[in-house]
Amino acid sequence: MGSHAKIDLKPDTQAIEEWLAQQLAISLATDPNSIPVPLKSMGDGWQSMIRLAALEALTEYPDLVRERVVLLLEEPETHLHPHLRRKIRRVLGELAAKGWPVVYTTHSSELVAFDEDQVINRMVRTNGSVASKNVHTDGINPDAKVQSKLDKTGAHDFLFGTAADLLRRKGRQLRHPPRVRQEKSRLRRAVGQYNTVRRRHRHTGLR
């Protein structure tokens, strides 16, 4: 007696998920006059900076940091400039100090700090086998903590400043302004101290 019509009232869950993803997607504009771009479509450098900003924001919310969380990161310094690598190291240190166990792998010396509370596990592959050695920063000789002196003066960060500030014309010669000359002098002294300490304290195990 004729054909039977069938109506499927089940929702298309994939379409709903895609619609929700679009509604909840994070878009950012790099300046007030630019068009917002979805986060997943931005470059790796921007995504790394946004992750850094999110971690730094967490340090301002102690109630969230009290949650039972272990923060595991693989090479968090990827795509970051050296001064931002030092910043993410300090941010991770703040989260650890406020209660989160923080564990990360790194190939960057900027994420190692002898003047901060760290346990460094250095792994080296030799002839097919892997050897590891632990170093507790609280047991390192104070003279070896040169990085703290560099961080306090910021001598290595002036390289990221505006080039116009690095040189000034005096007569027919281009000269560094007094502040830059002072920072260069501090940097030379710090490097000299580091070389001296490195020769004296090779027992740290990080040669």
Q: Which residue has the higher pLDDT, 71 or 7?
A: 71
Share of the chain above pLDDT 70, in %: 54
User: What's the confidence (pLDDT) of residue 162?
Assistant: 46
- The residues facing 28 across adjacent strands are 37
Instruction: Enter the tokens of residue 78.
Output: 């990827």
Query: 73-114: per-residue pLDDT in tens?
Result: 999 999 998 889 989 999 999 999 888 899 999 988 888 887
Q: Which two tokens stand for residue 146?
A: 């040169």
What pTM value is reported for the model? 0.59
What's the pLDDT score for residue 102? 93
- Tens digit of pLDDT for each residue in 149-166? 666 555 555 545 544 444
Mean per-residue pLDDT of the chain: 73
| pLDDT tens digits along 41-81 | 778 888 888 889 889 988 888 777 777 788 999 999 999 98
Give mean pLDDT, residues 199-205.
56
Work out whether strand 168-170 and strand 129-136 pair parallel, antiparallel, or are unpaired: unpaired
CA distance 57 to 32: 22
Q: pLDDT at position 104, please?
A: 95
Question: Higher pLDDT residue, 11 or 59?
Answer: 59
50: exposed, middle or buried (Cβ count in 10 Å: 0-12, 13-18, 19+): middle
Mean pLDDT of 4-33: 63
pLDDT, position 65? 73
Contact 190, 155 (CB under 8 A): yes
Q: What's residue 41's pLDDT?
A: 77
Mapping DSSP to helix (H, G, I), strand (E, B) and coil, where does residue 96 land?
helix
Query: Mean pLDDT: which of 6-10, 115-119, 185-189 is highest?
Result: 115-119
| pLDDT above 80: residue 21 | no
